[in-house]
Amino acid sequence: MKHPYSVEREVRTYAYLRMAAVDALEKAKNIREGSFYQIMSCLVFSAFTVEAYLNHVGERKIQFWNEIEKIEPMSKLTVLYSVLKLPFDPSKRPIQTIQQLFKFRNFMAHGRTEKLTGRGMLKKPRPDPGENLVETKWEKFCNKKEAERAVKDVRQVLETIYVAAGFDKAMLHSLGHASRVIGKPEP
């Protein structure tokens, strides 16, 4: 016996991405070995969260969003803040953090092999396992302080935009919803 159904579902991708960022940060706080990769994930997913969120709000608030959807995420953020008449200062948090996240995301998405050199003096006979004596800029960025700041500032930006857009704040962190219509079973 078959059971027909009809379903409509809204999936808020930005909420899933935000949950991935928060989860990665929590895991990084609770482990020592492997925390670097959790932090890296947190930072990348934080950037993805903002970009997906800009698309979520932009489609609903800006009539010409489809025409500008392909512009860089910082430009999208600037447009959205302008349309919503929000103060935009990239030299201060939280916008400054978002700018750093987008740079990090872009580097990770378009990563290149780097050769590093360095000199110095060690206070012990050899480095600790996994300790790098020279690091790239992105490796230095992957730390708990930056990850915590990212999660906090991303949340602040999302909430600021949501309120300015006139959306129900209770729905901000919702993963979405579904409506199901179940019909009578077919013989």
Domain chopping of the chain, boundaries: 5-111+138-182
Q: Per CATH, is 5-111+138-182 categorized as 1.20.120?
A: yes
- pLDDT for residue 186 is more than 80: no
- Looking at residue 2, the DSSP 8-state letter turns out to be B
Q: Would you call the peptide bond into 87 cis, given omega within 30 degrees of 0 as the criterion?
A: no
Percent of the chain topping pLDDT 90: 73
Which residue type does 179 have? S
- Mean pLDDT, range 41-58, rounded to an integer: 97
Residue 154: CB atoms within 10 A of its CB come to 25
Please give the pLDDT value at position 101. 98
Whole-angstrom distance, CA of residue 87 vs CA of residue 167: 19
Q: What are phi and psi of 51, to 5 degrees?
A: -65, -45
| Residue labelled with tokens 């901000």 | 172
User: For 111-150, what is each residue's pLDDT tens digit?
Assistant: 999 999 999 888 888 888 777 889 999 999 999 999 999 9
Distances (CA, A) of 3 to 7, 27, 177, 183, 185: 13, 42, 22, 7, 4
Model confidence pLDDT, tens digit, residues 154-176: 999 999 999 999 987 777 777 87
Half-sphere exposure of 39 (CA within 13 A, CB side): 21
Mean pLDDT of all residues in the chain? Answer: 91
pLDDT average, residue stretch 79-84: 97
Decide: helix, strand or coil at residue 172: coil
Give the Cα separation of 61 and 91 in Å (integer). Answer: 26
How far is the C-alpha of 71 from the C-alpha of 76, rounded, in Å?
7
The residue behind tokens 């910082």 is 74
pLDDT of residue 179: 60
Quote the CA–CA distance of 168 and 13 in Å, as a whole number.
Answer: 17
